[in-house]
Amino acid sequence: MSAREKIAIDIVKQLKNMTNPAPVLVSREFFDFEKLAITQFPAVLVVSGNEDREDISMSERQATLDIELRCFVRGSELDTARNNLIENIEQTLELSRDRNITVDNTATHYVQSAINNIEVIERQQPLGQFNATISVTYVYKRGNA
Amino acid sequence: MANFTTDSDLEQYEPDIKNYGIQDYSDLHTLSTADVKRDIEIEWWPRAGSNMYDITTPNDAEFEDSLLVDSQWTRCAVYHVLGFFVYPRLSTFSPEGDVFREKMAYYRQEYKTEFDKILRQGVKYDFDSSGTIERAEKRPTHFNRLVR
């Protein structure tokens, strides 16, 4: 399994284990947030995004992967709901910045991740949305991503 | 009071019903069962006793829901709990509509149809509390009578 895939799986797993406020729906499969049940909010769509890769030595490459969390909340006091969810997501993902990937000499050598951007998307009430971008940097053996 | 339905009954009709953020519908089963029993008492019970013995004798006995055969009402009650309790809870009731509201309307209609079919088939009710349902205890409501 690729490091890219392992990272995405770990993020989904951590988000599903969150507590109060916790997303009810966490998915990597695209969904139309306007067609969700009222009980499925907050909802998070995890999207593996663009990635930059470069050689850093004779045998190693470094990749920087952006993973976008499209987060949807519903109800009243949307600004508060958004802020609370942002705080909890960041705290949850900070618990294991290495994304729980086993580092070894044959494949992945190093992993670090952090949320580096929050973008609030304006929606009509009672919906609210923000996108959080997680930047994951990892180093891997050439030909073994 | 035992409920007519459980979560596993709902999943037979709607396998995805636990994917909407509610993992336990127990309280809704209780509310729904009470409503279905009330409908039975309203629609069937007033004619049930006279149907069995003497049509000129009004039925003044108390309706006892424990004498019903629960399994006869399972499908009907599944339609009821989905149409009257589960899907209203999931729907956003946005003006343009949503799939949950569509299903709510569908199951409400199915509930009426199924309820009527049970009345026409014959409600199983243990009138003599014998523990078995005799032939006369499951006759159709309008058996051998003209109803105006």
The whole-number pLDDT of residue B56 equals 62
A48-102 pLDDT tens trace: 999 999 999 888 899 999 999 999 999 989 999 999 999 999 999 998 888 888 8
The reported pLDDT for the residue numbered B145 is 61
Domain residue extents for chain B: 7-16+25-138
Q: Is B148's pLDDT higher than 70?
A: no
CB contact under 8 A, B20 and A40: yes
A32 touches chain B (CB under 8 A): no
Radius of gyration over every alpha carbon of chain A, rounded to an integer in angstroms: 16
Mean pLDDT to the nearest integer, B107-118: 97
Contacts of A127 (CB under 8 A, 6+ apart): A33, A34, A72, A73, A74, A78
Across the interface, whether the CB atoms of A38 and B90 are under 8 A apart is answered: yes
pLDDT for B56-84, tens place per residue?
Answer: 666 677 889 999 999 999 999 999 999 99
Residues in chain A: 145
pLDDT for residue A17? 92
A118 vs B45, residue with greater confidence:
A118
A chain contacts of residue B90, beta-carbon cutoff 8 Å: 37-39
> What ipTM does the predicted assembly reach?
0.71
Gap between the Cα atoms of A55 and A140, Å rounded: 10
CA distance B86 to B29: 9
Report the percent of chain A where pLDDT is more than 90. 70
pLDDT the model gives residue B68: 93
| pLDDT over 70, % of chain B | 86
A38 vs B91: CB contact, 8 Å cut-off?
Answer: yes
What angle do helix axes A3-16 and A78-94 make, rounded to 10 degrees?
130
Number of residues that make up chain B: 148
Mean pLDDT of A42-47: 96
A24 CB neighbours in chain B (<8 A) are 21
Beta carbons of A46 and A15 less than 8 angstroms apart: yes
Fold of A3-127: STM4215-like (3.30.2000)
Question: Nearest to residue A32, comparing CAs of B74, B116, B98?
Answer: B98
Q: Within 10 Å of residue A92's Cβ, how many Cβ atoms?
A: 16
